[in-house]
Structure 1
Amino acid sequence: MNKESRQLRVGILGCGPISQAAHFESCRKAHNAELYAICDQAEDLVSRMALIHEPRVTYLDYDQMLADPQVEAVIVAVADQFHVEAARKALAAGKHVLMEKPLGVSVEECEELREQVRESGLVLQVGNMKRFDPGIAFARRFIRQEMGQMLALKAWYCDSTYRYEETNNLQPILVTSAQARRPAGNPKADKSRYYLLGHGSHLVDTARFLGGQIMSVQARHVEKFGAYCWFVAVEFADGSVGHLDLTVAVRMDWHEGFQVYGEYGSVIGKTYNPWYLRSSDVECFSVRDDQYHRILGEDAHFYKLQVEG
């Protein structure tokens, strides 16, 4: 593992499941970043994670970590309801921010945060790690550089009823704590809202990453036998049309991907359960040579790649 001499010193807020499964390891493996500090009010979690991941310093108080002049950037990995509050504090302290998605839980708080980012001159990046999937990045380059005008885009994100079995087999054993800070009530009780924020944010971001700004939306929603489905018709800024399918959960394997039809070619992609850390399988057909083009052998640890980015 090659490390650059100049490394961004990162402090991670939150020692819960997503940090254990993704962020601690990503900072340790990133060639241009260092896991400098970890912070959580749960002392037992901080102690255990410090033994495993060996940050330089640990904190039980977020304000104290932000006051550390050695911390240059913060990864916010706490409950969704605390995202904006934590990000605003970090920006006020002069730290760059990598924010776990979703950015926030209301449009109003996100708009206020956006204004603070603009005034600060700092970087706030939402953790839509699929942008760092080499296959999706390859598709974007083809669309931008070779495909010509886009006609239409279809994208789907269908979580699987078998996902948790797969995830449990792939992730490390996750540790929780009774001391951890939790939001009031049960944020997951409203399934429609929870699925749109947690899963739909990935789908919409991938569509925008490939197709550009979405200008109009018409959605249909149905719930049956504990499953939730949204079919969404969209129009992009260039006048092309799109169809987005968010379904949680399908009675089959993880089903995620996209198709894009353009002037000089088309793209089809299949994306895997993220915990496989596997690049999307993408084929780009070009009329310029009447051939399919693929990308193979790329580093697909997109959680690490988003830290490096």
Structure 2
Amino acid sequence: MNPVGIGIVGCGPIAQAAHLPATVKAHNATLIAVCDRSERLRTAAQRMHGAPNAYADAADLFADTRVEAVIIAVADPFHVPLAKAALHAGKHVLVEKPLSDTLVSAHMLAAVHAQTDRILHIGNNKRYDMGIEYARDMAWGALGQRIAYRGWYCDSHLRYTATANLQPTFVTADDTLRPALDPKTDRRRYLLLTHGSHLVDTARYMCGPIVRVQTQYRTVEGAHCWYSAVTFADGTAGHLDLTVTIQGDHHEGFHLYSQHGSIQAKTYLPWFFKSSDVEVFTSTDAQYHRPLGADGHSYRRQIEGFCAAIRGSQDVRAATINDGVAALAVLTAMTRSAEANAAWVDVDTAAGLP
């Protein structure tokens, strides 16, 4: 397979910690170009990772004929405009999660994508966690009909103490391009989109579409909690707990109860590059099964899946444009439910800002 020529738009923290090194490590990708408005950031990225070209303007990167696909690693409000421009330029796109900061703009991007034959994946890298991959295969195979799912994503108040030891020392700059309105100004919404996109996508990956939600929201001294009952399209009952932050260590995972067995999963911060601990019980043989998941680099595996799809492989793991839109719809429905004193809300009727 000929390596796919990759251009990365955005040379900030997520690119430095994940996408730049992952692209260089990926066996079927070649880093062709980097792009950032900040000369300091793009120069550092080019020098450190050996990109032949560095651009200040994304339009110039999109015009580079050696770039077949782009990774968009910028602030959330820029996701849709850049993805649309990349598609119009004939590029395949891997855009960081969440797909957008509004459901309306996500639908607009989906309409643009529908007019192309390009691959568009969302950066829900946990789908490429080997433990979660194994759990998903069992959930949709040997375990039979699903009964109930419980998922949680509880971020630690000491997150940045941990990540300071795990991530590289970031190159920073004062001349980066920032949104007119800092997304972090509305902290409730920012946390819901940033962390909730992981929680919801993992639930949908394991059990399929979510059709109804009932959410209680509570905030205490800067901690935000969304406690949601959900119903999946196949009738599976569910519960999702998003709490940011908790007083304790990062706490993430899920339980699934099915017709012929059950699953327990513990997921780590991705910066440990460690697959989830997954234990599956199968009643057919009365045995517990645990995958090793030795390859814990979900970001690299995600890029390899993206490139394989571009070369014609059927990548069943990836979060597609439809998954990205659906996750935003669930998060929006959660907000509407919380505003209505935990009323049940049908996801397909959700509207407004998440």
What's the TM-score, normalizing by structure 2? 0.85
- Confirm or deny that 1:200 pairs with 2:201: no
Q: Which residue of 2 aligns with 1:43?
A: 39
* Aligned pairs for 1:46-57 within 5 A: 46-57=42-53
Q: Is 2:247 aligned against 1:251?
A: yes
Q: 1:188 to 1:31 in 2, by over 3 A?
A: same
**Per-residue CA shift, 1:168-216, capped at 9, x if unaligned?**
1000001111111001132112111001100000000000000111011
Name the counterpart of 1:61: 57
Instruction: Sort the Cα spacing of 1:106 and 1:297 in 2 relative to 1 into closer, same or farther, 3 A.
Output: closer
- Cα offsets for 1:253-303 (capped at 9, x unmatched): 110000000000000000011110110000000001101101014211000
**1:197 maps to amino acid:** L
Residue range with higher mean Cα deviation, 113-122 or 196-205: 113-122
- Percent of paired sites with the same residue: 50
Q: Structure 1 residues 11, 296: closer, same or farther in 2, change over 3 A?
A: same
CA distance in 2, matches of 1:119, 1:288: 47
The residue type equivalent to 2:109 in the other structure is L
Write the letter of the residue equivalent to 2:91.
K
Distance in 2 separating the partners of 1:263 and 1:185: 48
Q: Separation in 1 of the partners of 2:286 and 2:100?
A: 44
2:26 counterpart residue number: 30
Which stretches of structure 1, 4 residues or longer, exceed 2 Å deviation after superposition?
Answer: none
**Would you say 1:155 and 2:145 are equivalent positions?**
no
Aligned-pair RMSD on alpha carbons? 0.8
- Confirm or deny that 1:146 pairs with 2:142: yes
Q: How does 1:1-309 map to 2 (within 5 A)?
A: 6-309=2-305
Please give the per-residue CA displacement for 1:32-80, whole angstroms capped at 9, x wherever unaligned. Answer: 0011110111111111111111112111111111111110000001111
Q: Distance in 2 between matches of 1:111 and 1:209?
A: 20
**2: CA distance, partners of 1:185 / 1:72:** 32
Separation in 2, partners of 1:110, 1:242: 25
Unmatched 5+ stretches in structure 1: none
Superimposed CA distance per residue, residues 74-115 of structure 1 (whole angstroms, 9 cap, x where no aligned partner): 000111111000000000000000001110111111001011
State the alpha-carbon separation in 2 of the partners of residues 185 and 81 from structure 1.
9
Distance 1:75 1:185 in 2: 23
CA distance, structure 2, for counterparts of residue 207 and residue 298 of structure 1: 23
Q: Residue 103 of structure 2 aligns to which amino acid in structure 1? A: V
Q: CA deviation at 1:233?
A: 0.6
Structure 1 counterpart of 2:76, one-letter code: D
Q: Is the 8 A contact 2:154 2:241 kept in 1?
A: yes
> Hey, what's the Cα distance between the residues in 2 that align with 1:117 and 1:295?
36
Q: Which runs of no fewer than 5 residues in structure 2 stay unpaired? A: 306-354
2-structure distance, mates of 1:267, 1:286: 9
Distance in 1, matches of 2:224 and 2:251, equals: 15
Can you list the C-alpha shifts for 1:137-192, whole angstroms capped at 9, x where unaligned?
Answer: 00000011111000000000000011110001000001111111001132112111
CA distance in 1 between counterparts of 2:19 and 2:302 reads 10
2:118 maps to a residue whose letter is L
Aligned-partner SS, 1:181: coil
Mapped to 2, the partners of 1:47 and 1:275 lie a distance apart of 24
CA displacement 1:204-247 (0-9 Å, x = unmatched): 00000001110111100000121110101100011111000000
